Structure 1
């Protein structure tokens, strides 16, 4: 059984000061309390720790061994507690953030970098992945919060979000797009359902939920079997395949804003408005955010608003 920590703390200060009186002053207790605590610790360990002499105490070899074990723990604990107290006054510590892969690679790294310029005592852990993985990590306490893009095709079942507080952050435009070369060769302005069904498609995941959702939104019907030229597990790969003229894929327009601005990628529009997808901040319900989290989220919102593409390709929800 481990000795009582308070007695180990008494021992640490007595050994460091070589004085019962000095330890009592450090700990703001009486000398009698220190002497009694030491006596009980020696009884627990069944070994003497100090030899009492006329004007002081002399550590025994056992005391030296015990001090070498206790010293790193006590000093690290005191340092962390000082830092913990400081974190209530300014951002400090490790912030663990989850994000969809593409969103994290394009935006989160630059937001982290600009935040650390202001608050160098903050470091980050960034976990990239799908919604289910990231939500499970938040639920388990492995992430402080995550950004989650619940695509329109997946909005039917939100029962898994009961444990969370969900705050919309960004509204992004979701489009069906292809390379301009593919558009000019295969589409040529014909956006009819009959013609679109003859083309090649890039599927995000085998279930094709995103593609099917696009057709249902724009044509009020599920698309029959599509000619899938490539199936991938992330949007970045869909955009890369579009660049290689492999067909049409459903993407968030801001993720390919450079190619769209240059005219390398063309969107396929219908008489229906584009689909909007919400990226939300997700954290445990009833959680009290730390000062570091509050300051970072304000910084995130300002940083996203300052990015040149946001007015044309997505809109920010107002901060609560």
Structure 2
């Protein structure tokens, strides 16, 4: 039955019921009373129910009319609100933005940037997903995220064949360094930063595969598949930083993550004479996606704010 009902006739009924008058509905719809009467008659034929009774030139809704109006009122109200939101979103950022970010990077920077953004654009709300590159890329691809900031250093080898699916824009360059506490450096390394001597030390790692540690040794010394002595595996930048400060061993971190400790001299970077690894945080969205006005505004704001914060 639903496929046989003309939606325009339901709108006409809604106006008649609201006005309790054919003439009033005709005026609102800018059509003739005859046209309104014809729509009502055809609707009653389609649903096989009488909707109004005429009493002394007045329309009295039937029980069925009351029920139909109760169904239509919230639906049409939500429809109008949604269409208004779409229209407003073309002129002023509004609505929900679904954004992804690396776990520690997102924790450190995104709430602050989102709060500042909402001070300018209060009609925008956020859903923030924190995860690894694999999860974020998959969610962008499936449409679960509007866009994401992704750590491509951690993902580029595994996903380089798939990156053609995405539009990738580098936003922030972070130096990735191997570091230990100043006390550990003087007591254990004693200034000897040869690869063989470094590999006799204790290490802190983010993951069991030790990808970051292997990447550091490959970049600086050309060594493949090293087997470091890992004394702590923990999926947290804060925990790695704390373990380094506690003289537990060496760990791979971004320079931004331990900037204060480096400035105070409590943490020492391992310098080999080669340039440090550069880790790119990139804005990723689907290649063929046409961003909404709200998304464009947010992306521009996030680019500038994150670059400024990470300086």
| Pairing partner for 2:144 from 135, 142, 145 | 142
Counterpart Cα distance in 2 of 1:234 and 1:110:
20
The reply on whether 1:87 has 2:80 as its aligned counterpart is no
**SS of alignment partner, residue 129 of structure 2:** strand
Question: What displacement does 1:41 show?
Answer: 2.4
Partner of 1:123: 125
For the Cα contact (< 8 Å) 1:96–1:124, is it kept in 2? yes
**Structure-to-structure mapping, 1:17-56, within 5 angstroms:** 17-56=19-58
Counterpart Cα distance in 1 of 2:22 and 2:242:
71
Counterpart Cα distance in 1 of 2:145 and 2:88:
22
Partner of 1:231: 233
Tell me: CA distance 1:26–1:219, structure 2 relative to 1, closer, same or farther (3 Å): same
Question: What displacement does 1:156 show?
Answer: 5.9
Question: What TM-score does the superposition give when structure 2 sets the normalisation length?
Answer: 0.92
Deviations 1:80-135 (A, max 9, x none): 21121111111111111000011111111111010111111111110000111111
Partner of 2:283: 281
Counterpart Cα distance in 2 of 1:292 and 1:257:
34
**SS of alignment partner, residue 57 of structure 1:** strand
Q: Which runs of 5+ in 1 are unaligned?
A: 311-320
Q: How many residues align?
A: 309
**SS of alignment partner, residue 251 of structure 1:** strand
Counterpart Cα distance in 2 of 1:29 and 1:215:
78
For the Cα contact (< 8 Å) 1:153–1:213, is it kept in 2? no
For the Cα contact (< 8 Å) 2:147–2:285, is it kept in 1? yes
Counterpart Cα distance in 1 of 2:91 and 2:281:
30
Question: What displacement does 1:303 show?
Answer: 1.8
For the Cα contact (< 8 Å) 2:203–2:250, is it kept in 1? yes
Q: Structure 1 segments of 4 or more deviating over 6 A?
A: none
Deviations 1:49-80 (A, max 9, x none): 11134433111111111111211111111112
| Pairing partner for 1:162 from 146, 164, 188 | 164
**Structure-to-structure mapping, 1:105-254, within 5 angstroms:** 105-151=107-153, 154-155=156-157, 157-222=159-224, 224-254=226-256
* Segment drifting more, 182-191 vs 143-152: 182-191
Question: What displacement does 1:221 show?
Answer: 1.4
- CA RMSD, aligned part only? 1.9
For the Cα contact (< 8 Å) 1:146–1:281, is it kept in 2? yes
For the Cα contact (< 8 Å) 1:97–1:125, is it kept in 2? yes
**SS of alignment partner, residue 162 of structure 2:** helix
| Pairing partner for 2:269 from 255, 267, 285 | 267
Counterpart Cα distance in 1 of 2:222 and 2:235:
26
Counterpart Cα distance in 1 of 2:175 and 2:136:
23
Question: What TM-score does the superposition give when structure 1 sets the normalisation length?
Answer: 0.90
Counterpart Cα distance in 1 of 2:307 and 2:172:
10
Tell me: CA distance 1:227–1:7, structure 2 relative to 1, closer, same or farther (3 Å): same
Q: Which runs of 5+ in 2 are unaligned?
A: none
For the Cα contact (< 8 Å) 1:50–1:59, is it kept in 2? yes
